[in-house]
Structure 1
């Protein structure tokens, strides 16, 4: 009886963990809970923790939620982030029978590779203006850009991964990378 009393909570925890849904790493303001779980999984897939902090370590998912909430009220229209998330979720469900956030890293990578292949690229720019006619940029590419922007703009990455000088001296745009410890400068 004592063994059963001790084993019951452990068995219950194991069973519950098998049924637990994927959740966001934050309480969303703009996104629905399911969309926030997608954003968290997307960020973690694109920027996992390695020798450097990952996207979730620096709060990219939280930052994007705050930026979207500050941009104005949510409007669900074709081409918005909500419809882009739904389209990727439908593809994940069609291919693997589960939500994007519930997929393993290899399955998410497969979806990313397919999206990367069919997604239009940003044209090169000269002084902030695209060269040539810019094809429409889809959700995958625009959201990827936003995630990378949030990551590279974070204080942790700017000060611990990139070179950072809050009061820069003279500008010299032609120096070897080895002269600055092989690290690019943060802006």
Structure 2
């Protein structure tokens, strides 16, 4: 089945702003935020939030959750306007994408919000990996800008900058036995220093 043409960034911006307003206005919005913040122990992918310069979960959690909600609102807007999940899987900056997982892990609350607001939270790894990488100035960036102004460059890293930072991290982590951005390590805990 061919993917439909994407709506204009202006159309997506208008719908995404409405979706985000509905999320913010939901009676369980605060519960969603609190659940996401408590999920921070699982924000450990070295290829995501670790690429944020001077990352600090306490300082960055609230603004990153907001960016994740904006990303989900953009995706939801494309889905509402096209009815196509693959089209709605917009490229999202890796740090922001990682935090969408914390939001979506709050399954009960996100389902309640989606039902009340008449929206869909779109996030599928298989279609996400087929999407082109996030680019500053690209479709996602343009729609975001029309909805809320410029995305915070601290979190919305262009794919090339993200790749550069991930390579820096990988080299540093390899020096302590952590390889492939945390996908493997050579630390032998039975011979490691005692706690």
Normalised TM-score (structure 2): 0.29
Q: Which has the higher contact order (CA 8 A, sep 6+)?
A: 2
Which has more radius of gyration?
Answer: 1
Question: Whose helix fraction is larger, Structure 1's or Structure 2's?
Answer: 2
Normalised TM-score (structure 1): 0.30
